Every structure is written in structure tokens, then in C-alpha cells.
Structure 1
Amino acid sequence: MQATALLIVDVQKRMFQRGSSVYQDAKLLYNLKKLIASAKSESMPIFYIQHETSGNHLQRHSDPWKLHPFLTVEKDDVVIQKTTPDSFYKTSLEEQLHFKGIQHLLLAGIQTEVCIDTTCRSAQSRGFSTSIIGDAHSTWDTPILKASQIIQHHNQTLQWFANTISTDQFVERIR
């Protein structure tokens, strides 16, 4: 089996604000918690990606910018800040993955059609094999599409770049 890491993208307090939280927020957090526990049981490296902007919403060190408190970052986990949808662009992610000998990425988090999509495609172009955890990424409704449609569409479309598995399928593979 290839050396694998779990990437949790942009699961920050801002994405869970009352009245404007991501689609199926409780289910997302529950699935992320299961993924993290399973990864830790196998000593799988976990990378938390944290988006920042210079505006009010995700300004570094602001409360909305912080990782969601449901996530428990431990000393061996890596936290990487980014400023674009691509978790690799102008970050140390690729270097740290190579340093740890990682060849396969499990991708989960927020926002399906932006940061998850972009990071997935970028990982593939950098030579990483990738699995999208199809029930562990989320987004918001748009004027054109419901969040559930966006997630379903991307789970299908990103199969050109990654395998799509469920949280339970990942957990079963670990056992």
C-alpha cells in the first residue's frame, strides 16, 4: 500500500456560522472525526489546510479563521496556511509530503467546487494519487445549484483525477 496522508481542507470556524453553515455541517464534522480517528489509529499523517484572506472573513488569527474546535490537532499533525484555492500553491505542502514519503492523498473538507476541486487536480498534476472522501466534503447552495448537486457533480467529475470513496469505505479498509 502506498504511503498515505489525510488532508483536511479549510474546516474553519467561519464555515460553520449559524445561519450560513455549510451543507450538512453536522454530518460533515461526524465523518471528519471518523476519518481522523481511523487515520490516527494507523499513524497516518494528517495535514490541516487553513485558508486565509486579508479581508474580515478569514483574516489570520481572527476567530473565524481558526480551525473548527471539533478537530483536534495533535503535535504530529501539520497545519499549513494557504491564500488560494490550491493547497499546494506557494505553500510547503508538497515539500512536506515528499519529506514524509507520501504518495497517496485522502482529501476531505471545504469547499467542494473551489478548494477541494483545485487541490485534487493540483495533486494529480504533481504526481500524487488521490482519493476524494465523497461524503466528507461540503459547500453551500448557489443561486443555480443546491449544495447536494454540487457535491454529487464533483464526486463524479473528479473521478478523472481521483478515486471517490466514502468515509465508511475508508474506515473499513483501515480495519
Structure 2
Amino acid sequence: MYQAGSKRSALLIVDMQVGLFNGQDRPYEGQRVLDNINQLIRQARNAGVPIFAARHTGPQGSPIAPESPLSQLLSELEVDDVVDTVFDKTKPSCFLGTGLADRLASAGISEIVICGMKTQYCIDTTCRIAAELGFQPVLVADAHTCMDTQVLSAKAIIDHHNMTLNGPFVTLLNTSDVRF
């Protein structure tokens, strides 16, 4: 079993928002993924590991403007916006224009446990950029999701990204194997 936390770790939750999770197209195995993320949150909190939650936002007047109901984190998500760091992003990368890399580096964090949605956009981009920035990303294989597309099923997208990212970009673990 892999032991996350042998280095200073953080949990990064990506785009678990009302507008994405509860939209017209529902995420693949959404409730299971949400339950797994909440398990990771509880484990991180118990271990004193910092928790970061990104929200993808658009310009003022858009359906996902920063203060719009659709851009808010799911109420079922056990993120505490008083204790945890909730930040907005406008690009698929959780790093571009957010100051996240500086916050992580100043806290001495080298390992980032990543979960959330959407697999082929923000999860993929964040994993690749984290590795390029010198962090050690851990992708939680059963705690990220997306929706079916016209070309591929969500399951195929998730399986493909787990296979492609594992090794060159991330360490791939299941929720039950993560220990902070």
C-alpha cells in the first residue's frame, strides 16, 4: 500500500460544483465519486493535511460567474470554507493565475492528492502541470469523473486517463489506498 504523506501532502479537489455535478448531463458514478472525495476530505482533515478546493468560474453575467449558484461547491461536499482553501480558476489548470503553486510551495507541500472533475479537462491538465512544476501528483483513480461525450463513454475517458497519466505524470491510487 502506498503511503501518501511521506512527504508534505495536500488534498486538491477540482470543480465539484453545482453546475457541473447537477447539470443536464450527470457525471459517471457521481455519487460514488462524491462519497470517495468526502472520505478523502475526512482522512486529510484527521491527519492535519491542508485541503484546497478549486471552482471553475466564468465572467460576470455567465451562468458560472463567481457568485452564481451554479459555481458554488456542492453542499454535500464536506469542504469547510472557513478552514479549507477555496479558490476560483478560469482555465483548466488549477495553477494558471491562481497562486496555487506559490501557496503549496510556501507551505512546503511537495505531494498533491488530486480528485474531482472533469477528467479530460481540469483533472488531466492539473495533473500534467503539477508534475511539470515539480510537485508529485497522486491521482485518485476512483475519485474523479466526467460525463459521456458523443465520441466516448465517461468510463472510457476515465480509464484512458488513469492509464495515460499513471507513471509519467502521476502515481495512481484508489481511495482505499490513500493514507495521509
- After TM superposition, the score normalised by the length of structure 2 is 0.92
Give distance in 1, aligned partners of 2:149 and 2:26. 13
1:69 to 66, 75, 85: 75
For residue 153 of structure 1, what is the aligned residue in structure 2? 160
Mark the runs of 5 or more structure 2 residues left unpaired by the alignment.
1-5
Q: Normalised by the size of structure 1, how large is the TM-score?
A: 0.94
2:138 counterpart letter in structure 1 = S
For 2:51, the equivalent position in structure 1 comes to 46
Structure 1 position 78 matched with structure 2 position 85: yes
Sequence identity, in percent?
37
Once superposed, which parts of structure 1, at least 4 consecutive aligned residues long, lie more than 4 Å away? none
Q: Note the C-alpha offset of 1:100.
A: 1.1
In the alignment, the residues of structure 2 paired with residue 18 and residue 10 of structure 1 have an alpha-carbon distance, to the nearest angstrom, of: 13
Q: Distance in 2 between matches of 1:116 and 1:24?
A: 16
1:14 match: 19
CA contact (8 A) 1:108 1:136 kept: yes
In the TM superposition, what is the alpha-carbon distance from 1:120 to its structure 2 partner? 0.5
Amino acid at match of 1:129: Q
User: Which letter does structure 2 place at the counterpart of 1:28?
Assistant: V
Higher mean C-alpha displacement, 6-15 vs 64-73: 64-73
Q: 1:80 touches 1:92 (CA, 8 Å); kept in 2?
A: no
Count residues with an aligned counterpart: 172
Higher relative contact order (CA 8 A, sep 6+): 2
Q: Which residue of the partner structure matches residue 35 of structure 1?
A: 40
Please give the alpha-carbon distance, in whole angstroms, between the structure 2 residues aligned to 1:49 and 1:58.
13
Where in structure 2 are the equivalents of 1:161-172 lying within 5 Å? 161-170=169-178
* Structure 1: unaligned runs, 5 residues or longer: none
2:101 alignment partner in structure 1: 94
Q: Which amino acid in the other structure matches residue 49 of structure 2?
A: M
1:95 shift after superposition: 1.0
Paired AA for residue 126 in structure 2: T
Contact 1:88 / 1:119 at 8 angstroms: preserved in 2?
yes
Q: How far apart are 1:134 and its partner, in Å?
A: 0.3
Aligned with residue 23 of structure 1, among 22, 28, 32: 28
Q: Retained in 2: the 8 A contact 1:52–1:65?
A: yes
SS in 1 for 2:138: strand
Contact 2:66 2:88 (8 Å CA) reproduced: no
For the residue of structure 1 that corresponds to 2:64, the secondary structure is coil
For each residue in 1:52-110, what CA deviation from the matched residue of structure 2 results, as whole angstroms up to 9, or x when unmatched? 01263311111110001012333231111100001100111011101211000000000
- Quote the RMSD (CA, aligned, Å): 1.2
* Aligned CA distance change for structure 1 residues 63 and 93 (closer, same or farther; 3 Å): same
2: CA distance, partners of 1:24 / 1:73: 20
